[in-house]
Amino acid sequence: MNTVPSSTYFSAPPDWGWLIVLYFFFGGLAGGCYFLAALIDLMGRPEDRPLARLGYYIAFPCVILSALLLTLDLTRPLRFWHMLIESNTFRPMFKYWSPMSLGSWALLIFGIFALISFLGALVEDNRLNWPAWRKVRPPEMLSKVIAALGGLFGFYVAGYTGVLLAVTNRPIWSDTPLLGMLFVVSAASISGALMILLAHRYKWTMPGLASLHRMDSWVIALELIVLIAVMISLGPVFRAWVNAWGLLLFFGVIVVGMLIPLALYWRRQWLGDRNLTTGAALVLVGGFILRMVIVFSAQGV
Amino acid sequence: MAEPMGFYTDTTVCIGCKACEVACKEWNQLPSTNGGVNTLSGDSYDNTRRLDGIHWRHVKFIEQFTEDRKDGRWLLMSDVCKHCVQAPCLEVCPTGAIVRTEFDTVVIQSDTCNGCRDCIAACPFGVIETNPVSGTAQKCTLCYDRMQVGMEPACSKACPTQSIQFGTISQLRDRAQKRVEQLHQTGEKRAYLYGADEKMLGGLNSFYLLVDKPEVYGLPPDPKMPTRNLNSGTWFSALGAVLVGLMGVINFRNRGARLDNREERP
C-alpha cells in the first residue's frame, strides 16, 4: 500500500449491493420514462399520446419500486422517514449539499408528479372515470406545466444517484465528476429502449415511435462518449477497472449495450422484424450491467 | 462551546499492548467479533484488522524488516476516528444523525441513524461501519458520555505509555510540536505531525506523530471533502440533461406542438 493512485483508496466500502443496483436501474427508468413521456406530450402529435401514456404507466410503478428498494436497503428500514423529518424535533430534514438528502425529497416530489400523470393516463384511457383529471392531459395548459416540472424532477431522480456516488470518498465514484451525467444519459437510453420494446409488443405504429427510435440511437452514441470521458477522467484510478469488471464494462456495456444496438438501429435489414426489439433489449441489458459494474467495482477496491 | 478537545497520538511510544482497544470495548460495551471465537488474521499481531462498528480503536502493526530480518523496525499506531473539523461523514449524513458536539468532536446519534451508510463511503479514513447489534453506523464518540462529566476518554486513560494523549487541541498541538523537535534533535528526522494543522480537513481533532509516509500507516496522504465533486457533478449532470433534451426536441420537432394544437382545438 505504499503507492496508491488516489487518496480515496483508504475509505471503506458502504456495502451497497443488489438493492442499490436495482434502484439505480428502476430509478433511472422512472425518471427517464417520465421525461420521454413529457417530451412526447409537449412536442408530439395527438396520435403519439399512447406512447406518452406508456411512459407514465412505467414511471409511477418504478418510483414506488425505487422507494421500496431504498427503504429495504437501510439497515433500519422503519426509520426511512428520518430522511425527510428530523426525528428529534419533527422538523423537515433538508441538507441541499447532501445528494442523498436532496435526492430523498426529489424522489418524493417526483413521485407526486408521477402519480398525477399516471392517474391522468388512466383517465385518458377511460380506465378511470374522474373527468376532472382530464385537465392534466394535453391539450390543457396545466398538462404542459406538469409535464415540464415532472420531466425536470425525472431528470433529477435519474442523475442525482451519480452525483451521490461522486460525493463520497470511494475510488472510482469520487475520482470522476461525470457519473451523474452518465446516469442521466443512460436513464434516457434505457427508458427509450423499454418504451420501444413495449410499443412493438403492442404493435403500435404511431409517428412518434420513429422519432423515439432515432432519438434513442443518438442518446446511446452520447452515452458511449460520456462513458469514454468517465474512463479518461479517472486518470490513474482507471487501473481499478483493469480486471474482470473492466472486461464486463467493455463487453457487457460498450459492445452488447451500445455498439451492437447502434449497429442494429442503423442497419435495419440485419435481423428484419426483430432488429429494433433486439437492439432495445440489449440496451436494457447494457444499462443494468453498467450500474452493476459501477456499484460493485468501486467497493471491491 | 467548550474548548475543542481531542487526541494526540505519538506513534513512536506505542508498544502495541492494545489496552486502548480493550478499554474502549469495555466502556462502550462493544460486542466481541465472531461471538468471541478467536480467529487469527495472519497479519503480524493484528487480529482486530480494521476500524468498524464494533472496533472503535485499532492498533496497527507495521513490520519493516530487511529480507534477512537482521535489521528493521516496528511501526505501531493506535488508529481511531479523526474527529475532523470539516467532517466528511457529518457533511453527507442525510438524517442529521451525525452531529458536532460542544467539544468540537463528531458523534453519531444511534437513535437517529437509519443505516443508509452514506457516511461509510464518505469517510476518507475508513473509520465508520455498521454495528450489527444496533444496525446503525457507529464509530468512536471520543467518549462523549465521559467528557460530559469531566472524565477523559477510556482509551487515553488506559494507555500505559502516553502514546494516546487527551486534552485541548491547542495544548496537544504545542506538546506534539515540541516532541517533533525533540525527535529531530535526537536524529529521528522522519518525525512529523499528520493532521495537526488546518490544511487537512480543517484540522484533525485526533492527530498523529508519524515517522513514515501516511500510506505506510494506512492513512490517506491527501484526504478531501466529498462535496468537492458536488458542483462539478451537478453541472455535468445538467449538461447531460440539456443534451438529451436537445436530442429529444430535434427528433420530435417535425411533428411539433403547433400541429398538435391545430388538430385538437375545437
- Identity of the amino acid at A192: G
Do A110 and A30 form a contact (C-beta atoms < 8 A)?
Answer: yes
Q: What is the pLDDT of residue B191?
A: 98
Q: What is the pLDDT of residues B88-124, one digit of tens each?
A: 999 999 999 999 999 999 999 999 999 999 999 999 9
Q: What is the mean pLDDT of chain B?
A: 94
Q: Which residue has the higher pLDDT, B266 or B119?
A: B119
Q: What is the pLDDT averaged over residues B34-42?
A: 86
Residue B46 distance to chain A (closest CA, Å):
16
What are the Cα distances from residue B153, in Å, to B40, B158, B165, B197, B246?
28, 9, 10, 22, 59
Cα-Cα-Cα-Cα dihedral sign, residues A216, A221, A224, A230: negative
Contacts of A163 in chain B (CB under 8 A): 229-230, 233-234, 237
CB-CB under 8 Å, A11 with B123: yes
Residue A215 distance to chain B (closest CA, Å):
6
**What ipTM is given for this predicted complex?**
0.96
Q: What is the pLDDT of residue B263?
A: 42
Q: What is the pLDDT of residue B254?
A: 63
Which among A7, A45, A86 has CB closest to B260?
A45
Do A162 and A183 form a contact (C-beta atoms < 8 A)?
Answer: yes
DSSP B153: P
A interface test, pick of B251, B253, B254, B258 with most A CB neighbours within 10 Å: B251
Q: Report the run of H or E that residue B157 belongs to, with start and end.
A: helix B154-158
Q: What is the pLDDT averaged over residues B256-266?
A: 42
CB-CB under 8 Å, B121 with A43: no
Q: What is the pLDDT of residue B39?
A: 87
Place of cell 398525477: A116
Kindly identify which residue of chain B lies nearest to residue A75, measuring between CA atoms: B115
Contacts of A36 in chain B (CB under 8 A): 248
Residue B18 pLDDT > 70: yes
Contacts of A2 in chain B (CB under 8 A): 213, 215-216
Place of cell 430522511: A83
Q: Which of residues 124-163 of A touch B (CB under 8 A)?
A: 138-139, 155, 159-160, 162-163
Residue B1 distance to chain A (closest CA, Å):
21
For chain A, list residues with pLDDT below 70: 1-2
Q: What is the pLDDT of residues A108-129, one digit of tens each?
A: 999 999 999 999 999 999 999 9
Q: What is the pLDDT of residue B80?
A: 98
What percentage of chain B carries pLDDT values higher than 90?
90
Q: What is the pLDDT averaged over residues B15-40?
A: 93
> DSSP E strands: which ranges in B11-80?
58-65, 72-79
Q: How confident is the model at residue B258 (pLDDT cuts 50, 70, 90)?
A: very low
What are the Cα distances from residue B223, in Å, to A272, B125, B155?
55, 8, 25
Place of cell 449532470: B237
Q: What are the cell numbers at B82?
A: 479523526
Domains along the sequence of chain A with CATH: 15-297 (1.20.1630.10)
Q: How confident is the model at residue B2 (pLDDT cuts 50, 70, 90)?
A: confident
Residue B146 pLDDT > 60: yes
Report the CATH number of the B5-224 domain: 3.30.70.20
Q: What is the pLDDT of residue B261?
A: 44
Cα-Cα-Cα-Cα dihedral sign, residues B48, B51, B55, B56: positive
SS (H, E, C) chain A: CCCCCCHHHHCCCCCCCHHHHHHHHHHHHHHHHHHHHHHHHHHCCHHHHHHHHHHHHHHHHHHHHHHHHHHHHCCCHHHHHHHCECCCCCCECCCCCCHHHHHHHHHHHHHHHHHHHHHHHHHHCCCCCCHHHHHHCCCCHHHHHHHHHHHHHHHHHHHHHHHHHHCCCCCCHHHCCCHHHHHHHHHHHHHHHHHHHHHHHCCCCCHHHHHHHHHHHHHHHHHHHHHHHHHHHCHHHHHHHCCHHHHHHHHHHHHHHHHHHHHHHHCCCCCHHHHHHHHHHHHHHHHHHHHHHHHHHCCCC
